[in-house]
């Protein structure tokens, strides 16, 4: 029983740290026709130069694993843009004061935030048909991101984000 409790706790903790993704696509498109890609000509992710190179490396590896190649004349362009935002972490210390007598009780309580705000990245992956110049597939991935992490940890986070984004490609109809 103890093992079950710890397993559930571990599952809960890892689920909160995993990237979350939402997918959208054009239902009229046959995605089997695409086998080549290139980064969008005006690719500007909004990340630092080092993080952008980590992201493009993760993207290159993931696309190659899915059978894509990057020739001179691609069939789709891949564009990624990011948004960074912060949220209050949910750690709080609760304080309360109360008292009463007879049939009457009164209490006041509140929570004081502990620690700093959590940073998240929201990355939008767009696949654009080069010939038609239309968006055919999109993934939006939100993930916690530690701005103070080591370069290796940042690369691992981008690998997870890209893998989560491409989990929905090609779409299952």
Beta-bridge partner residues of 104: 101
Q: How far is CA 8 from CA 15, 16, 89, 91, 155, in A?
A: 10, 12, 21, 20, 28
Region of residue 32 (phi > 0: left; psi between -120 and 50: alpha; otherwise: beta): alpha
Mapping DSSP to helix (H, G, I), strand (E, B) and coil, where does residue 33 land?
helix
pLDDT digits (tens, 9 = 90+) for 117-170: 678 899 999 999 999 999 999 999 999 988 889 999 999 999 999 999 999 999
pTM: predicted TM-score of the whole model, two decimal places = 0.75
Ordered structural domains, the chain, with CATH: 33-87+114-167 (3.40.50.10610)
Q: What 8-state DSSP symbol labels residue 72? A: S
Within the chain, where are the H helices? 2-17, 49-65, 151-166
Give tens-digit pLDDT for 24-77.
Answer: 999 999 999 999 999 999 988 999 999 999 999 999 999 999 999 988 899 999
């Amino acid at each position: 029983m103890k093992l079950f409790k710890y397993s559930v706790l571990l599952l809960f903790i890892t689920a909160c740290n995993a990237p979350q993704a939402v997918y959208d696509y054009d239902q009229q498109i046959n995605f089997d026709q695409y086998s080549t890609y290139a980064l969008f000509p005006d690719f500007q992710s909004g990340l630092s130069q080092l993080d952008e190179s980590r992201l493009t490396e993760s993207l290159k590896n993931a696309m190659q694993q899915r059978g894509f190649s990057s020739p001179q004349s691609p069939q789709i362009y891949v564009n990624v843009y990011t948004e960074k935002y912060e949220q209050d972490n949910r750690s709080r210390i609760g304080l309360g004061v109360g008292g009463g007598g007879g049939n009457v009780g009164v209490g006041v309580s509140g929570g004081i935030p502990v620690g700093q705000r959590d940073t998240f990245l929201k990355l939008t992956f767009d696949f654009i048909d080069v010939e038609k110049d239309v968006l055919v597939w999109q993934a939006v991935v939100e993930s916690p991101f530690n701005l103070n992490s080591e370069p290796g940890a940042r690369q691992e986070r981008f690998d997870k984000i890209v893998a989560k984004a491409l989990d929905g490609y090609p779409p299952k109809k």
